[in-house]
Chains A and B, each alone.
Chain A
């Protein structure tokens, strides 16, 4: 039901927008709806070129201020026309705290929850597997207070 409502609303909302931004709006709305029964806070729209051979994959970085005792949900969606598959990672300084792709198991997840125990600045990194070019959107949502 929630998904239906959001998609309906965005189709209506996007009517007056440009085609390009309509695509982004629809992808963002779909990704927010896929996050489940949570409250949308931020989106991170990403479009990256292909990386150079042997180099680090191009990565978009976003700073976030997260609050203690809140559960946040981080979701990732690749655009339908994206070459690469998007991966979202959450860092505190250089400590990896969460990822939608677990290298050890090779499994992808559409989202993960983060139980924040320290108020402070964190960073979301979005890249595309194997350094491919790609388009996608990450969503940060509020799940609940701990």
Chain B
């Protein structure tokens, strides 16, 4: 029986709602309408950058899908033969994010033979928007030739993406960073929804529903650039999803956090629990619309 300590935690949040980004959120029995949460919100450049750099990961959705025991399928990833047609920095940044999401999925399943095509696509696009210096193609290509290098391949792939994102922020090119993150996000949602079609389960449905929170953050960021017609078009596409996500309700069940120490290692358990509610019809609409939006975005 391991030695277990439960420590007192700071409980200041009793009076503070902790899920402000939830569109229609019920917190301790109080329902907060979408309009109160989002309209008229202005966020500073500092806060915006803070949000953008952490909003989506190229590997998290893929990791969850793999953990669910769902087999790999190359039907879920975007073909790389269209890279040559991507000529504007808008297209290049958005698709760089999409391919980064695909690379995460391929790496997760150790599909090293297909990885080279995606590395090549990412290299081409990252050079085009002048962040290619953070993407060591030759090392990644060498690692991809041996399936035993998966840990390193995963680490360097994700780290390279993070470095590109940081560089864009530090060089006042947050508009391109926002596109990369949008690409990662839509590809992750596309992956999750496509998998759900063949392997439906509650956990994946919840993860899809929770994307309401991410989409709200993402749209706040992109709205800053909406004077540009390309961004307006992108926002119009995302608005289609936002309308559907309005029917997703996310509830917060309050609880106390805990701390446990086992064999000298600490584990903290968050007290609050989020609960997603959405009808099967809404989920089906989200799945269908995600496919349509994603396929239009890769041809923008």
Nearest-neighbour CB distance to chain B for A66, whole angstroms, equals 8
Q: Which residues of chain B have C-beta atoms less than 8 A from A6's C-beta?
A: 151-152, 155
Name the contact of B10 in the complex, choosing from A5, A96, A112, A117 (C-beta under 8 A): A96
**B83 on the A face (CB < 8 A):** no
The stretch of A50-58, A77-85, A97-105, A128-136 in contact with B is A97-105
Please state if A13 and B268 are interface contacts (CB–CB under 8 Å): no
Inter-subunit contact A40/B159 (CB<8 Å): yes
B174 to A: closest C-beta gap in Å: 14
**Shortest CB–CB separation between residue B30 and chain A, in angstroms?**
16
User: Is B219 an interface residue, CB under 8 A from the partner?
Assistant: no
The distance from the CB of B215 to the nearest CB of chain A, in whole angstroms, is 11
Distance in Å: Cβ of A104 to nearest Cβ of chain B = 7
Query: Does A40 lie within 8 Å of B270, measured CB to CB?
Result: no
Q: In the assembled complex, how far is the CB of residue A58 from the closest CB belonging to chain B, in whole angstroms?
A: 16
How far is the CB of B285 from the nearest CB of chain A, in Å?
A: 21
Whether A145 contacts B63 in the complex (CB less than 8 A), given A5-B151, A119-B213, comes out as yes
Chain A residue contacts of B214, Cβ below 8 A? 65
> Secondary structure at chain B's binding surface: helix, strand, loop or mixed?
mixed
User: Measured between C-beta atoms, what is the minimum distance from B128 to chain A in Å?
Assistant: 19
A117 and B268: CB pair below 8 A?
A: no
Is A113's CB under 8 angstroms from B213's CB?
Answer: no
Complex alpha-carbon distance, A93 and B270, angstroms = 12
**Contact status B155-A32, CB under 8 Å:** yes
**B73 close to chain A: CB less than 8 A:** no
Interchain CA distance A90-B270 in the complex, whole Å: 10
Select the residue from A6, A13, A144 with max chain B CB neighbours within 10 A. A13
* Min CB gap A64→B, angstroms: 5
Interface string of A40-61 (1 = CB under 8 A from B): 1111000000000000000001
Contact A41 B60, CB 8 Å, known A115-B270, A120-B19 = yes
- Closest approach, in angstroms, between the C-beta of B17 and any C-beta of chain A? 8
Which listed residue (A69, A95, A112) contacts B13, Cβ 8 A? A95
A60 to chain B, nearest CB (A): 11
In the complex formed, the residue of B with least CB distance to A113 is B267
- Is there contact, CB below 8 Å, between A120 and B21? yes
Q: Is the CB of B18 within 8 A of A65?
A: no
Smallest CB–CB gap between B119 and chain A, Å? 13
What is the chain A residue whose CB lies nearest that of B166? Answer: A45
Asked if B57 contacts A41 (CB within 8 A), the reply is yes
Contact bitstring B125-153, A, C-beta under 8 A = 1, else 0: 00000000100100100010000010110
Mind listing 27 A-B residue pairs with CB under 8 Å?
A2-B151, A8-B152, A12-B139, A25-B159, A29-B159, A61-B50, A62-B53, A65-B217, A92-B18, A94-B13, A94-B16, A95-B9, A97-B9, A98-B266, A102-B259, A102-B266, A109-B265, A111-B265, A111-B266, A112-B265, A114-B267, A117-B255, A120-B19, A120-B21, A121-B21, A121-B51, A142-B63
B residues neighboring A (CB under 8 Å) = 7, 9-13, 16-22, 47, 50-51, 53-57, 59-60, 63-64, 67-68, 133, 136, 139, 143, 149, 151-152, 154-156, 158-159, 162, 203, 206-207, 210, 213-214, 217, 250, 252, 255, 257, 259, 264-274
Q: Kindly list 14 other residue pairs between chains A and B, CB separation below 8 angstroms, not including A93-B17, A117-B272, A117-B273.
A: A6-B155, A9-B149, A12-B139, A40-B159, A41-B60, A42-B57, A67-B64, A95-B9, A95-B11, A98-B268, A117-B271, A118-B252, A119-B250, A120-B21
